[in-house]
């Protein structure tokens, strides 16, 4: 993610995924899943993100279906993101 707003001292990124997507593992954050919402929170070493700064996060998962659609809503601290 690229921070295009004010400097952050902690962050939470949420992604809405298709039904059938299950989180296996993630990196560069504390990952969790509730239904079709994935949440990643900063860890101690990447919580401070200056304006224009970037953080790379990623995850692996499984999908039961035939065609995996793109992410739905993506938010950073409750504010909609552009992808």
Tens-digit pLDDT profile for residues 31-80? 999 999 999 999 999 999 999 999 999 999 999 988 888 889 999 999 99
Q: Give the separation between CA 8 and CA 81, rounded to whole angstroms.
A: 15
What pLDDT does 69 receive?
Answer: 86
Alpha helices, H only, the chain: none
Question: Are 13 and 29 a contacting pair, CB within 8 Å?
Answer: yes
What pLDDT does 12 receive?
Answer: 98
């Amino acid at each position: 993610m690229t921070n295009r707003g004010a400097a952050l001292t902690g962050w939470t990124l949420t992604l809405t995924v298709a039904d059938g997507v299950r989180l296996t593992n993630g990196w560069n954050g504390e990952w969790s899943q509730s239904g079709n919402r994935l949440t990643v929170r900063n860890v101690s070493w990447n919580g401070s993100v200056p304006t224009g700064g970037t953080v790379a996060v990623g995850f692996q998962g499984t999908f039961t279906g035939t065609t995996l659609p793109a992410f739905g809503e993506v938010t950073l601290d409750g504010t909609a993101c552009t992808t």
